[in-house]
A and B are shown apart, each in its own frame.
Chain A
Amino acid sequence: MTSFVSSHVRSAALGLALACILPVLARAQDGITVYNAQHASLTQAWADGFTKETGIKVTLRKGSDTELANQIVQEGAASPADVFVTENSPAMTLVEKAGLFAELQKDVLDQVPARFRPQSGRWVGVAARSTVFVYDKRKLKEADLPKSMLDLADAKWKGRWAASPSGADFQAIVGALLVLKGEKVTADWLKAMKTNSSAYRGNSTAMKAVNAGEVEGALIYHYYYFGDQAKTGENSTNIGLHYFRHQDPGAFLSTSGAGVLASSKHKKEAEAFVKWMAGKHGQAVLREGDSYEYAIGNGEASNPKLEPIAKLDAPQVEPSQLDSRKVTELMTAAGLL
């Protein structure tokens, strides 16, 4: 009897194992593959909307901006990616410089104002995010706040602020600093940052730390605050937002980009997806969804809760000038990576 039972158990286990192994082995690869460095939930919303409208399946691979960009460069012509979507533009520039993007049609590019895409027309902006200094309202008054992002290098800010230096978001801000103020200022600022700031992994973790009173402020992007407020607000009740404005490096508005790989075997579908994201429907996802990133399409308004882009007084930075390799190098030299 026991052997009867155990033989049934055994064949059941074997069947279960087989049932699980098969899908792993026979992974379907139809539709397009997107290397996605944007927040998974946002790109998933875009992909779902696109698939619903066109029937084209979208498979996402998650990674960070520069990780995926360097990965595409290494993969070269053999890259399985059809589309690359980032949070910030330096990673787009890296792939563009390697000559791996296909040219986009004019009607795709024209959906977005010129400041949110490179002159080359190899990729297009699909969303934007603003740098912000989040601070603990209980500890800092408006008068105590830094006038410029560069002030955070002063000795008086030692041990009082946080950032997520390993993240691509922060590295884009450093990239803007590099374009606006040059290598010497940037290297010195990073060196001061190493002594002055505490490193957190991820912007939301940094904001949470400010909210919990662990540190007085943090240099992150704006939408973490709005996203948390929309959920439970438990990680942002004590948070105040300080925009640097006045074209300060700390007022940098970062462009999220999307492009089609030259090596893609599904260029038409891939370009359709990019067009969809930058177009009416994709921008509506930004306005109505829970990402709280800025919509940038021509005539597309952002979520009304956000500070309007016009009021941010962001510095003019040509998105393709941001040099992520140089930034990684400088940050490695400063001991931040």
Chain B
Amino acid sequence: MTVSLSIDASALPTLPLRRQRHLAGRAMLLLAGAVAFGALLPLGFILWIAIDTGWQTAFALIWRPRVGELLVNTLLLELCTLPPTILLAVALAWLTERSDLPGAKTFAWLTVAPLAVPAFVQSYAWVSLFPGFHGLPAAALISVLAYLPFLYLPVAAQMRRLDPALEHAAASLGHSPQRVVLQVVLPQLRLAICGGSLLVGLHLLAEYGLFALIRFDTFTTAIIDQFQSSYNGPAANMLAGVLVLSCLGLIVLEWLLRGTARYARLGSGAPRPAPRHRLGAWRLPSLALPLGFAMLSLGVPVLTLSRWLLAAGGAAWRQPALAQAVTETLGYAALGALAAAAAALPMAWLSVRSPGRASRVLEGCHSYLGALPGVVVALALVTVTVRIALPLYQTTATVILAYVLMFLPRALVGLRAGIAQVPVELERAAAALGRSPAGSLLAVTLPLAAPGVAAAMALVAMGVSTELTATLLLAPNGTRTLATEFWALTGELDYAKAAPYAVLMIFLSLPMTALLHAQTRKSLGA
């Protein structure tokens, strides 16, 4: 690229550059503020409904045995799922990152791969293989299988970049290898474990399809049951309020457990790459763990799906609705990704270019959405559109808005990383050469941040293409997505016809899973 040095004086901005940058910042602040306002909508809805229902009715709807039952179920589910998931994730991460396990790299991939299997497909696979499998044990087992990658990814990444010097020091002070792991390695994983557990915990609260299929009642399934009996009646909305409180409870808990210890490495230069521990006689027996996990989390879905596909033959692929579902799913995914990236852009730019208290507050308003279950977002939008904004009711725009609200945090993370890599000097040069702030954003910042933007959009698209709950509640008449069709068919116990939809959802999610895996490796310089 050559830059012409002959500058036409008349093309120079009339405003002083500094002032123009200031104005651009203000405009971004305004835009991000507008998005943050929209992001607070679901929370405002819960409050509005609580007041609208009246405290007495609200109290009667919340303070009843059924809610207690659901609360116990939810607590038991978290307690039975999180500890084994943490243990398994740490063990798998250690084996694949820090030991001389044969095929460690392959197993690292296989452990992340279940991300491509939507949780409700995982559940469908187990239910059609073992029809009597239900309740808490089933819920806990399938949750571990479906959500372990969320913990494994950060823990493995953290293990890879631990400075081995600390472990050597501990060993040289006479600690046994076991004690080194317990007292030196594990404490350094605290942040990764806390963050991953929070993500898994929130998924457990928000998931619908997984638990509906194996007959385990949580707040989310109960909300949908109520919705199907009374549309957006007060009982469903009150349950949604309790669900949001549970999510907030998890966030506070994680915040308390995270602690304030220092984890950054002291000392100069780069740490040595950590040596892989020799497993010795345990080398082959250790294979049982990653192999077992892969067989349960990937083998079972593959087995069930191929069984149904073989049973149904070519007819399964010749359903007329299949093509429509594929096109519509891709269409919604593309629109959702575009809209989410556009909505996240002002905030991402602000948090990189002009961090400060205002931008931190706004960013919080964006990020909290990640903890909000899809069913709550959907309930809020149904109520608001049907009661206030009727022209938007049952339109594509509303579904896309739901996707934006649900996946805004994902888009933000990717965009922020992308923009952070664009030197601010280039934006200033563009401004000096006469580009308006918006022009320099489009012509300079975004093209340079393209990899980050693309990753952000891919993550959103993956979320949209397997989204079930909000789509069920909000989709315009006649809509068919892979997830909703799959759900309708499993509802009629037509497992064979549902299989192609499951396979397509997995294929759509595969590239994104690979991307996520590659990204966590790259971002840590491994």
Taking beta carbons and an 8 Å cutoff, which residues of A are in contact with B?
16-17, 19-25, 27, 29, 33, 39-41, 59-64, 66-71, 73-75, 78, 80, 166, 168, 171, 199-202, 204-205, 208-209, 212, 214, 235, 325, 328, 331-333, 335, 337
A204-B492, A204-B493 are contacts. A337–B235 as well, Cβ < 8 Å? yes
Query: B476 — nearest CB in chain A belongs to which residue?
Result: A27
> Which residue of A17, A39, A166, A212 contacts B228 across the interface (Cβ within 8 Å)?
A166
Q: How far is the CB of A65 from chain B (nearest CB, A)?
A: 9
What are 10 A-B contacts with C-beta separation under 8 Å? A20-B331, A67-B231, A74-B232, A74-B387, A75-B393, A168-B229, A202-B493, A205-B493, A331-B229, A332-B226
Report chain B residues within 8 Å CB of A201: 212, 215
Contact status B230-A66, CB under 8 Å: yes
Contact status A208-B493, CB under 8 Å: yes
Contact status B396-A67, CB under 8 Å: no
* A71→B396 CA distance, assembly (Å): 18
Contact status B230-A27, CB under 8 Å: no
* A332→B239 CA distance, assembly (Å): 12
Query: B333 — nearest CB in chain A belongs to which residue?
Result: A20
Report chain B residues within 8 Å CB of A41: 492
* A212→B128 CA distance, assembly (Å): 12
A70-B230, A212-B131, A337-B229 are contacts. A199–B215 as well, Cβ < 8 Å? yes
Contact status B230-A328, CB under 8 Å: yes
A199-B215, A202-B491, A235-B493 are contacts. A70–B131 as well, Cβ < 8 Å? no
The 8 A CB mask of B131-164 against A (1 = contact, 0 = none) is 1100000000000000000000000000000000
| Contacts A39-B492, A61-B477 known; 8 new A-B pairs at CB < 8 A | A70-B232, A204-B492, A209-B131, A212-B132, A328-B233, A331-B229, A332-B64, A337-B225
Report chain A residues within 8 Å CB of B226: 332, 337
Question: Which residues of chain B from 197 to 234 have any CB-CB distance to chain A below 8 Å in the complex?
Answer: 212, 215, 217, 222, 225-233
A33-B477, A199-B215 are contacts. A171–B229 as well, Cβ < 8 Å? yes
Contact status A24-B478, CB under 8 Å: no
Interface residues contributed by chain B, number (CB under 8 Å):
40
Q: How far is the CB of B205 from chain A (nearest CB, A)?
A: 19
Report chain A residues within 8 Å CB of B335: 21, 24-25
Contact status B491-A27, CB under 8 Å: no
A67-B228, A74-B232, A202-B491 are contacts. A21–B386 as well, Cβ < 8 Å? no
Query: B131 — nearest CB in chain A belongs to which residue?
Result: A212
Q: How far is the CB of A59 from chain B (nearest CB, A)?
A: 4
Contact status B488-A23, CB under 8 Å: no
Q: Is B427 an interface residue (CB 8 A)?
A: no
* A80→B392 CA distance, assembly (Å): 12
Complex A-B, nearest 9 residue pairs according to Cβ-Cβ distance, in ascending order: A70-B231, A24-B331, A20-B331, A20-B330, A17-B334, A166-B225, A335-B66, A59-B478, A61-B477
Report chain B residues within 8 Å CB of A171: 229
Q: Is B253 an interface residue (CB 8 A)?
A: no
A20-B327, A200-B215 are contacts. A335–B64 as well, Cβ < 8 Å? yes
Report chain A residues within 8 Å CB of B368: none
Report chain A residues within 8 Å CB of B232: 70, 74
Report chain B residues within 8 Å CB of A325: 230
Q: How far is the CB of B472 from chain A (nearest CB, A)?
A: 9
Report chain A residues within 8 Å CB of B235: 332, 337
* A71→B331 CA distance, assembly (Å): 27
> Which residue of B215, B225, B228 contacts A63 across the interface (Cβ within 8 Å)?
B228
* A235→B495 CA distance, assembly (Å): 12
Interface of B is mostly: helix
Report chain A residues within 8 Å CB of B390: 78
* A16→B393 CA distance, assembly (Å): 28
Q: How far is the CB of B454 from chain A (nearest CB, A)?
A: 10
Query: A64 — nearest CB in chain B belongs to which residue?
Result: B228
* A70→B231 CA distance, assembly (Å): 6
Report chain B residues within 8 Å CB of A16: 330
Contact status B488-A62, CB under 8 Å: yes
Contact status B227-A67, CB under 8 Å: yes
* A70→B383 CA distance, assembly (Å): 12
Taking beta carbons and an 8 Å cutoff, which residues of B are in contact with A?
64-66, 69, 131-132, 212, 215, 217, 222, 225-233, 235, 327-328, 330-332, 334-335, 386-387, 390, 393-394, 396, 476-478, 488, 491-493
Query: A40 — nearest CB in chain B belongs to which residue?
Result: B488
* A297→B233 CA distance, assembly (Å): 35
* A60→B475 CA distance, assembly (Å): 12
Contact status A27-B478, CB under 8 Å: yes
> Which residue of B66, B387, B396 contacts A337 across the interface (Cβ within 8 Å)?
B66
A40-B488, A75-B386, A205-B493 are contacts. A25–B396 as well, Cβ < 8 Å? yes
Report chain B residues within 8 Å CB of A335: 64-66, 69
Report chain B residues within 8 Å CB of A205: 215, 493
Report chain B residues within 8 Å CB of A19: 327
* A221→B271 CA distance, assembly (Å): 69
* A17→B334 CA distance, assembly (Å): 6
* A71→B385 CA distance, assembly (Å): 12
> Which residue of A40, A80, A214 contacts B132 across the interface (Cβ within 8 Å)?
A214
Contact status B393-A78, CB under 8 Å: yes
Contact status B331-A67, CB under 8 Å: no
Contact status B478-A23, CB under 8 Å: no
Contact status B229-A20, CB under 8 Å: no
A166-B225, A201-B215 are contacts. A23–B331 as well, Cβ < 8 Å? yes
* A57→B233 CA distance, assembly (Å): 32
> Which residue of B328, B332, B477 contacts A59 across the interface (Cβ within 8 Å)?
B477
Residue of A20, A41, A63, A204 contacting most chain B CB atoms (<10 Å): A20
Residue of A41, A325, A332 contacting most chain B CB atoms (<10 Å): A332
* A123→B469 CA distance, assembly (Å): 32
* A335→B68 CA distance, assembly (Å): 10
Q: How far is the CB of B212 from chain A (nearest CB, A)?
A: 6
A40-B488, A60-B478 are contacts. A80–B394 as well, Cβ < 8 Å? yes
Report chain B residues within 8 Å CB of A71: 231, 386
* A323→B386 CA distance, assembly (Å): 24
* A17→B330 CA distance, assembly (Å): 7
Report chain A residues within 8 Å CB of B66: 332, 335, 337
* A16→B231 CA distance, assembly (Å): 36
* A20→B325 CA distance, assembly (Å): 10
* A331→B66 CA distance, assembly (Å): 11
Query: A224 — nearest CB in chain B belongs to which residue?
Result: B493
